Structure 1
Amino acid sequence: MSAFVISCESRTYEEISDNTPITQQVKFTADVKPIIDANCISCHSANGPAAYQPFTDYNQVKNKIDGILDRIQRANGDLGKMPQGGSLSQSQINIFIKWKADGLIEN
């Protein structure tokens, strides 16, 4: 007779240590979009001040990933640092980096 132990892990982005490697494959819909929606969409949407560069769908974010990575990794106080007036946590930044490394997977 065999027994299988299955465990599930569910953590929020804030619960992940800034130095904890992300081992699962990062996907836009599940991992990146919630960060965009919480931190970027107020400016980068049709009615926002950055409407000329919207981040409302997968293709828009995918096509701008290099610029996004540049902006979110700038030091506080640097010109063009995003999001304006704040910062993403290192774990959130790591999600963007891993998403690009994983091949910019949508779902």
Structure 2
Amino acid sequence: MALVSIACESITYEEISDKTPVAELVTYNKDVKPIIEANCIICHSPGGAASFQPWTSYNQVKNNIDNIINRISRPVGDPQKMPQGGSLSPSQIEIITKWKADGLTEN
């Protein structure tokens, strides 16, 4: 009789779905804009709670990048963490941070 031992590793869904590697050169239109549109535009557009600071264009996001990175990188529970009531995935934060490091390229 053979005894087989299998090791199990506990991985959360977020860890599995967050394995997308960051593109070599991060650009606004290809990489950052979809994240902003899916997570930020609801508040940072005309009529939104943060309409005073819109992020609906490349220049608006580029000009606010330091504030954006500061707010999305805050720990859970910090009242100034964005997006409100949620959090970007670690890979989304890395994409936005890498975009700044790569020179804030539009296309």
Shorter-normalised TM range: 0.7 to 0.9
* Structure 2 counterpart of 1:51, one-letter code: S
The answer to whether the aligner puts 1:27 opposite 2:27 as a matched pair is: yes
Number of residue pairs aligned between Structure 1 and Structure 2:
92
Structure 1: how far apart are the matches of 2:81 and 2:43? 14
Ranges in structure 1 where 5+ consecutive residues have no aligned partner = 1-13
Is there any run of 5+ residues in structure 2 with no aligned partner, and where?
Answer: 1-15
Q: Does 1:76 align with 2:76?
A: yes
Indicate the percent of aligned positions where both proteins have the same amino acid.
60
Taking the aligned partners of 1:23 and 1:38, their CA distance within structure 2 comes to: 19
| Aligned-CA RMSD value | 1.5
Aligned to 1:85: 85
Residues in 2 aligned to 1:103 and 1:93: alpha-carbon distance in whole angstroms = 16
* Secondary structure, counterpart of 1:70 in structure 2: helix
Q: 1:17: how far off? A: 1.7
* Kept in 1: contact 2:18–2:89 (CA 8 A): no
TM-fit CA distance, 1:30: 0.6
Q: Which has the larger radius of gyration?
A: 2
Q: Structure 1: which amino acid aligns with 2:41?
A: I
Counterpart residue number, 1:53: 53
Over 6 Å off, 4+ runs: none
